[in-house]
Structure 1
Amino acid sequence: MQIDRLDHLVLTVQDMSATIDFYSQVLGMQAVTFGEGRNALVFGQQKINLHPAECPIAPHAAHPVPGSADLCFIAQGDIHELLAHLRNCGVALEAGPVLRTGAAGPITSVYFRDPDGNLLEVSIYDSGIKR
């Protein structure tokens, strides 16, 4: 067996509406409802399933809690456009832009938090920043 790619991951969230609004507005993900009223965020060929903290959907992680994730997303475009967009959305940066190494090579990353305190890294390959 060889793993091909990540299909979806699950975030445990305190406030479903705040999470959906944040990921939709700031990261441009599409909110979808599936199954029996479950919520998810879709982007590219992946999705993030959202579990409410007060009643996570079984099966679930051993200790699901909001704010325990550290996620990296790859964006298209220019790092300066990304910074301007985050600024326009009122997002406070934790760090960046900084040079990092992604799964496929060098990236330029910025870090910020979602409404639950999860650390989000948004990165761009080939950003044109001198290494």
Structure 2
Amino acid sequence: MAPSVHSLDHLVLTVRDPEAAIGFYTTVLGMTAQTFFPTDGPPRLALKFGVQKINLHVAGSEFTPHARAPGPGSADLCFLSDTPLPDWQAHLAGHAVAIEAGPVQRTGAQGPLLSIYLRDPDGNLVEISNVL
């Protein structure tokens, strides 16, 4: 049998302002900020949610190795939530976060989704979805 992968452990977001990114993802999306200490370098910042995390690289000071052309605002992320989208809409309005699109039906890895779209401080597209 050929080798295969089974899940995503982490991804990296390149950000202009790590404090703004941490503020958005913790306050608006409910993630937890984390500092971790790799064996081969200085302390690093991450955002933890579920059993995954997002490592943060500061634009111009990326850790190596890194993507060939890292840049703020180039990501398109979809997060699954059990919280109904109307509750998300009210929560986002309370934080003055504009919804760019939705609710709209989409198709995700698990099947049909109902999604809303917004932007993080770097302009990355953030999709929050309920599995239908």
Q: TM-score, normalised by structure 2?
A: 0.93
1:2 Cα offset (Å): 1.6
Matched, 1:62 2:68: yes
| Distance in 2, Cα, partners of 1:86 & 1:124 | 16
Give the alignment partner of residue 102 of structure 2, picking from 96, 107, 121: 96
| Distance in 2, Cα, partners of 1:77 & 1:86 | 13
State the one-letter code of the partner of 1:28: G
**Residue number in structure 2 paired with 1:129:** none
**Residue number in structure 1 paired with 2:14:** 12
| Distance in 1, Cα, partners of 2:79 & 2:31 | 11
State the one-letter code of the partner of 1:19: A
**Residue number in structure 2 paired with 1:38:** 44
Where does the alignment leave 5 or more consecutive residues of structure 1 unmatched? 127-131
State the one-letter code of the partner of 1:32: Q
| Distance in 1, Cα, partners of 2:58 & 2:107 | 33
| Distance in 2, Cα, partners of 1:84 & 1:93 | 11
The worse-fitting range, judged by mean Cα deviation, of 74-83 and 44-53 is: 74-83
Deviation per CA, 1:43-89: give whole Å up to 9, x if none. Answer: 00000000010210000001111000001000112111111111111
Give the alignment partner of residue 111 of structure 2, picking from 102, 105, 112: 105
Q: Name the Cα RMSD after superposition.
A: 0.8
**Residue number in structure 2 paired with 1:23:** 25
Where does the alignment leave 5 or more consecutive residues of structure 2 unmatched? none
Matching of residues 113-128 of structure 1 within 5 Å = 113-126=119-132
Counting matched residue pairs gives 126
Q: TM-score, normalised by structure 1?
A: 0.93
Percent identical among aligned pairs is 56
SS of 2:21's equivalent in the other structure is helix
Matched, 1:81 2:87: yes
| Distance in 2, Cα, partners of 1:54 & 1:20 | 18
| Distance in 1, Cα, partners of 2:60 & 2:5 | 32
| Distance in 2, Cα, partners of 1:60 & 1:105 | 31
